[in-house]
Amino acid sequence: MAAAKQLNKLSADRPTHSISHKRSTNELAARHILHPYQQGDLDCQCGLYSIINAIRLMRQPISPISTRGSRSLFETGIDYLARKGALNAAILNGIGIRRWKKLAILLAADACTEMMTIIVERPPNHLKHSERAIVSWIDSGLSIGSPILLHLGRRRQHYTVITASDDQYFHLFDSSGSVRIKRIGCVTRFELTPSVLFRLKVQMPL
C-alpha cells in the first residue's frame, strides 16, 4: 500500500529555478528544466528518489526519460528491495549506504539506451584525507555534467543530489524540497567521505 502511494506521487516535470541569485560556476542545465520527484511525507525513500532524480538529469540532454520511464525505474527499485526482504524496513527507516550504491548500479544499468551508457563512478579512497579534495571532486563532476549523489550524515540521514555549485553553495535537486547547502565546512558538517559519495557519468558508444 505504501509503495502504491509513492508511485502516485510521481508528477509531471515542470520548470524550477534555484533561489540563489549568484551565478553558478558549475551546473547541470537540466536542473532548470526538470523538477525533482518528491517522496511522501511518511516514507523514507529518499535513497531511491535521489537515484531516479539523478538519472533523469543525466538522460535529459540526450534522451529524456518520460514519467512512465521514471515510474518503471521506481518499480524496479521497489522490486529489488522486496526481493531482498528489505522493503518494509526501507519504507519506514530508509536504506543503508551499501544497499543504496547497489540500487544505483542496478537502476543506472536499467536506464541505459542505445545512445548512452550510464555508469556509477565512485571517488578514490585517498580523498578522505582532504576536505579540499572532496569539494574539488564534486566540482569536477559538475563541470562534466555529472550529478553528485551523497548522504548527508548521521544527523540528517538523507540522500540527495548536487546539481550546481558557486563560491558559497552547493545547489540540490532534492526529493524533500531542500534547495542548497553551504559549501564551506560541508565535508565536516555532513560527514562527507568517499564512502558516501558517487556520481553518474555518461559513456557514449564508439
pLDDT band for position 204 (50/70/90)? confident
Question: Which DSSP symbol is given to 128?
Answer: G
177-194 pLDDT, tens digit per residue, is: 999 999 999 999 999 999
Q: Give dist(CA 186, CA 184) in Å, integer.
A: 6
Mean predicted confidence (pLDDT) in 87-112? 97
More confident of the two residues 53 and 155: 53
- In the chain, which ranges are continuous DSSP H helix? 2-8, 46-59, 67-83, 87-93, 97-110, 131-143, 153-156, 186-189
Residue 131 phi, psi dihedral angles, 5° rounding: -65, -40
> Is there a contact between 71 and 7 (Cβ–Cβ < 8 Å)?
yes
pLDDT at residue 153 tops 50: yes
Say which range, 38-47, 70-79, 159-168, 193-202, has the weakest mean pLDDT. 38-47
> Is there a contact between 47 and 97 (Cβ–Cβ < 8 Å)?
no
Q: Give dist(CA 64, CA 67) in Å, integer.
A: 10
